[in-house]
Amino acid sequence: MLQQIQQSELNTVNAKGDPVTGEDTIALTFGAICKELFIPRSTAYHYINEYITVTTYPEAIQDAARKLNLNLALDHVRAAFVAGEFTLKPNEDEAFGIVAKLKLAKPAASTNSGRKTLTPEQATERFREMVKEAFDFARDNKLFTETYANAMIASLPKMNAETLAFAFDVAAGQRQA
C-alpha cells in the first residue's frame, strides 16, 4: 500500500480543503501519511524496496544479491532483470551469475534535472549573475554595508570563476576577505 500511495496521483488539499500548489505535494502527502501511520519515511521506503524485491525476483537471486551487495529495488536493476532472458528458477550458481550481470546495469543517463548544458563561459556568466543577486540581497537586507556590496557588484564583470567563488564564499561568511 505504501508503494501505491507514493506513486499515486493525488489531488492534495490543505486542512481547509484548498488545493496545495507550488510544493512537492506527493512527497508531502506521503510524508504525512507515514507520520499518521507512525512509520518513519525512511522505513517506509525500506518497506517499499523490500516489497519490490520480494515480488520481482526469485529467492535465489535475492540471496545472491544480499551476498554481492546489490540493491535489487533500483529501477535500472529491475529493468535489466525484466529485459533479460533469465531463468525464473535459478540454482545458486546461476543466481550469482545473474546478479553479477545485474551489477553491470547502469542507470539511465541523467538529464541534469531538465537544465541545458552550459559552456564554461555561459556557466561563469550565470554564476556572476547569481553572485550579483546574492550581493543585492545582502545589501538590501543589511547583511553588510551598502558601500561594500556596491563595490563588489561593480567589480563582478572583471572577476573570473575562481574569484567569483571566493567572493561568494566571503559573502556567505565561509571565508575571510
Last residue of a domain, one of 47, 73, 103: 103
> What pTM does this model have?
0.49
Find, among 84, 2, 98, 80, the residue nearest to 45 by Cα. 2
Residues 58 and 88 placed together within one structural domain of the fold:
yes
The pLDDT value recorded for residue 63 is 93
Low-confidence ranges of the chain (pLDDT < 70): 2-14, 20-26, 109-116, 168, 171-177
Last residue of a domain, one of 103, 137, 161: 103
35-72 pLDDT, tens digit per residue, is: 888 989 888 888 888 888 888 889 999 999 999 999 88
Domain contains 113 = no
| Domain limits for position 84 | 2-103
The pLDDT value recorded for residue 175 is 63
Domain contains 130 = yes
Domain contains 109 = no
Residues 92 and 129 placed together within one structural domain of the fold:
no
22-43 pLDDT, tens digit per residue, is: 556 667 777 878 888 898 988 8
The cell numbers describing 72, all together, are 535489487
Find, among 111, 103, 31, the residue nearest to 68 by Cα. 103
